[in-house]
Amino acid sequence: MKRIVVIHGPNLNMLGKREPGVYGSETLSALNDQLHKIADHHHIALTCRQSNYEGQIIEWLHQADEEADGVILNPGAFTHYSYAIRDAAASIRTKIIEVHLSNIYRRESFRHTSVIAPVVSGQISGFGFASYRLALEAFIGEDVIE
C-alpha cells in the first residue's frame, strides 16, 4: 500500500478563519477529510499533520524518508525563508510536492520566492484545496518525476 504524508505548515490550522478572501472559508479538517476520501478510494495510507513549528516540520520530513512514498508539503510562510526546511527536503529520497492554496506569485513580492521549490519534485499553487488534491492525484498516478 502506498503511503503519503501531508504536512501543513504554520497558520494552516486557522483555515476558515484566517483571511477567507485569500484562503477560503473551509477548515483544515474539511481539507483533510477530502484528502482521506480520495486516498481511501485508491487504497492509499494517508497521514495528515500540521505544525506551526519549523523543527517539527523538519522532523516529519526526516521520518517521511523512512515511512512514506511521497510527501505533500505546504510550508506556509516558511516557503520563503526556511533554509532548514529546504535542507531537510533536499536530504531525503522521498518525493515531495510543494503546495499552496493561493497563487504565491500573484501576492506580495516577498512571497514570490520559494526556497523549497528547487529541491522538490514539483509545485502546485493557486487552486485552493484542489492544489492538494492535484498533488495527491500525481502520487496516485505515479506522475511525480525528479
Residues annotated as part of the active site: 23, 100
Which positions ≥6 away from 90 have C-beta within 8 Å? Answer: 119
For the sheet containing 70-74, what is the strand order? Answer: 45-50, 3-8, 70-74, 95-100, 122-125
| Rounded-to-integer distance, Cα 123 and Cα 9, Å | 15
Amino acid at 118: P
Residues 48, 8 contacting (CB under 8 angstroms): yes
Cβ-count burial 57-86 (b if 16+ within 10 Å, e if not): bbebbebbeeebbbbbbbbbebbbebeebb
